[in-house]
Amino acid sequence: MRSIPSNQNELSWWLSYIDSISAREVELGLDRVGQVAEKLGIQTLAKNTIVVAGTNGKGSCIAAMESILKRVGCNVGTYTSPHIARFSERIKLNGVEVEERQLCTVFKLVDDTRGDVKLTYFEFSTLVAFVIFAQSQLDFALLEVGLGGRLDAVNIIDADVSIITSIDLDHQDWLGDDRESIGREKAGIIRKNKPLVYGDKNPTSSVLGLAKSNKSRVYLAGRDFFWNESRNTSTFTWCGGFESKQTVFDKLPVPNLSLGNVSLAIQALYLMNVGFDRNTLKFALNGLYLPGRFDKCVDKITGVNVILDVAHNTAAAAMLASNLRKELLVNSCIKQIAVVIGVMADKDVSGITSELINFTDNWYISDLDSSRSMPAKKVAASIDIDDQTRIVKSESLVDGYKRACSDLSIYQRENPGHKGLVVVTGSFLCVAAVQALIIH
């Protein structure tokens, strides 16, 4: 058994420790994590388990399910990644982050149990979550896949219902160069004779084919369940069900999350025979909030309006652009938009910036505080600017953010009646960097 120093009761120590002993590169595969899970005696986590994979929208889908399940009185655990401000955001019981003391205790248990098996940071985290869930007598465990699906550590657990939110290009180095290849990896979470809720309006043959071979009934967005947003009342209608039975929930409040992902959540819980009605959904969805998803806030110093969005691939940037378009229609006083951006090295930076360029007056670019950060000069080179647009490079993302807020504050003073908007995006790390500088 390894000797652990006296500060083992500090979560920061454990996070540094598992990071120091982890491989620097992603290592997909179930052998390591499965071997340690078996030693830990992990078999099932809850009476019911839902596993969520997809390129975008996984966290939103889980947040919606968590809110509904809490409303009907279920004991629910959620495991998501990555976190923004605190590691404990990843592991929650009934919406409450697990305390650091419990996390440290379970980290030590996993470390003592693994022996000579080398685990990645994500595998360590996943096993810690699974131990906590297995000890908590849960009605539901909601699990977000970290990368892909087939070889992701979460996939050692069998899902009663699988959800695939979307298939788009991301992480091509590990998952494949096209949607069909990526879909094949994400479809690895599907289990025999267990239903799949699938959110793509343009479903991949690889997902549908694997579902068919597993005799998994597919509930497809736009075919088996639907949603429709009212243009006048900030409400939406959901319609879906099971087999030939159909249910309509009308005039539900629109949460600050994608209606598509919320609709996936409702359909999945419907298949799990969770009893809820319109009023339950109304209260569960009203005010539903997830940090960093078109997250509206204000800069503490200047009072400039800020939007935080963790969009880190082309599809997510397109969603951000769509939300910005809606925001400009509602708030015509917004005349200047500054985008503060940092991107990881493996991302399609041209795809991300091209989605946002029509909304951006000024770009504030910096390296991220990560060895995997894309150099600011490469990000800048991806932007096709005109004479009206400028690029400002900064030593850090925080510096860039402060400069953007200061510039827009001056703009607002010089142009009464006009407003500016700072958008922080490109990575979870970008949003995390400015958390202490904003007010919700």
Strand order from edge to edge, sheet including 438-439: 390-394, 362-366, 334-341, 419-425, 305-308, 295-299, 438-439
Cβ atoms < 10 Å from Cβ of 6: 7
Triad 131, 136, 137: Cα angle to 5°:
120
Reply yes or no on domain 6-285 having CATH 3.40.1190.10.
yes
Query: Residue 86 has what pLDDT?
Result: 94
Q: Name the pLDDT band for 23 (thresholds 50, 70, 90).
A: low
Q: Is the pLDDT of residue 388 over 80?
A: no
Instruction: From residue 431, give the alpha-carbon distance in Å to each of 79, 285, 342.
Output: 20, 24, 10
Which residue from 333, 302, 331, 323 is spatially nearest to 425, judged by alpha carbons? 323
Q: Is the confidence at residue 172, as pLDDT, over 60?
A: no
pLDDT of 170 above 70:
no
Question: pLDDT of 404-426, one tens digit each?
Answer: 999 999 999 999 999 999 999 99
For the chain, the structural domain boundaries read 6-285, 295-439
- The bridge status of strand 138-144 relative to strand 76-79 is parallel
Whether the ω angle into residue 82 lies within 30 degrees of 0, i.e. cis, is yes
Please say whether the dihedral angle defined by the alpha carbons of residues 18, 24, 30 and 35, taken in this order, is positive or negative.
Answer: negative
Q: Are 215 and 202 in contact (CB under 8 A)?
A: no
Backbone angles phi, psi at 197, to 5 degrees: -105, 120
Are the C-beta atoms of residues 233 and 251 closer than 8 Å to each other? yes
Q: What is the mean pLDDT of the chain?
A: 92
What is the pTM assigned to this prediction?
0.93
Once rounded to an integer, what is the mean pLDDT over residues 287-298?
92
Q: Which residues contact 55 (CB under 8 A, 6 or more apart)?
A: 165, 166, 167, 168, 169, 170, 182, 186, 313, 315, 316
CATH class of 295-439: alpha beta
Percent of the chain with pLDDT over 70: 94
- Torsion-angle region of 171 (φ positive above 0: left; ψ -120 to 50: alpha; else: beta): left
